Amino acid sequence: MQSSPFTKTYQSSQCHARCGTLTTLHGVIETPVFMPVGTQATVKGMTPETLEELGAQIILGNTYHLYIRPGHELIHQLGGLHRFMHWNKPILTDSGGFQIFSLQELTTISEEGAAFRSHLDGSPLFLSPEDAIAVQEALGSDIMMALDTCIPYPASREEAARATALTNRWAKRCRQAQPETGQLLFGIVQGGMYTDLRLAAMEELHDIGFDGYALGGLSVGEPKEEMLAILAACAHHLPAKHARYLMGVGTPEDLVEGVFHGIDMFDCVMPTRNARNGMLFTSQGRVVIKNACFQKDASPLDPCCTCYTCRHYSRAYLRHLFQSREILAYQLNTIHNLHYYISLMAAMREAIQQDRFLAFRSEFYQQRGNQEPGH
């Protein structure tokens, strides 16, 4: 393979935390980075301009959903995903593996690929590793993900080993199908809750050779302690000269622990989905805005926050909007939550560059009145 598109720029002397840059067709990304999720070619309730103002460097699109509606051929005809959704910065598309996993009752997995039924109309569909690459090529994403088979929790060692081996065989086929378009391709490490399976899978994927490497199959129902244990055991073993991506995780605490263990990239629906459900992230912890205690509260949601929502609106107003089911509630809440997540990543980058990440981590937990993991 050619040299890695990832360059490490700072390494903490205290832990595995690091900063870097990831070069893509649509720009250079500073890591660690959080990627807002734009499942159906939109981050719900946000214009691209708002996302840029919030500091989003890259967003995520969903291969499965776009394959089903409106179709990757149509998006390709209309100039690709960037033009279709008016977003000129990098886009990562997941492979569709997680959605196929989540629709297990509609799916049959074989060596060839995944046969499944559309969740919209039940029509039969098929996605092979080669198809997954072709769809992502048509979408024009900057970072494509290899097709994987996600492992449910709990799973026996035998089940996990069988699924991991299939994921790696699919990964090899994805790599062979990777087009010479400049689009990056990341491999996905599976292995369930079995550290040795994951470490062996990593070696095999590294031998195949990818532009970056992801930990998949976490946050699928396992206890938080198990997820953190896998993260601690595996993250820093991902190839050091490439970007490391923790898929579908998670809470602000998960992001801090991921960076602590050497992860560079994160995505999760939590800030956007929770915003629409009225759960907001603040420097002091979570706020459930519908609670009656905020009915007459004239203070901003988070006095430490500089986002548009906190600069202009009170908790009382945000509660009123949410209780009234006003569309503006979902917009203002999403602005705040994404600002919180993106600002958290920027603060972590600064702490790593100043070589004070452990102090940052301690302050982060102290603000919330929580103990650091491992203490």
Quote the strand ranges of the chain, DSSP E: 6-11, 18-24, 27-31, 33-35, 59-62, 91-94, 107-109, 114-117, 124-127, 143-145, 184-189, 212-215, 243-246, 265-267, 279-282, 285-288
Residues in the chain: 375
What is the C-alpha separation between 61 and 52, in angstroms, rounded? Answer: 16
Question: What's the number of CA atoms in the CB half-sphere (13 Å) around residue 313?
Answer: 21
Q: Which of 94, 142, 148, 254 is catalytic?
A: 94
- Write down the H helix ranges in 261-313: 270-276, 308-312
Task: Report residue 89 CA to chain centroid gap.
Answer: 16
**Residue 207 is among the residues annotated as catalytic for this protein:** no
**Residue 148 is among the residues annotated as catalytic for this protein:** no
Q: Which of 142, 148, 264, 267 is catalytic?
A: 267
Residue 369, CA distances (Å) to 90, 137, 362, 365 in order: 36, 46, 10, 6
The neighbour count for residue 335, using CB atoms within 10 Å, is 21
Cross-strand partners of 62: 94
Catalytic residues, by residue number, are: 94, 267
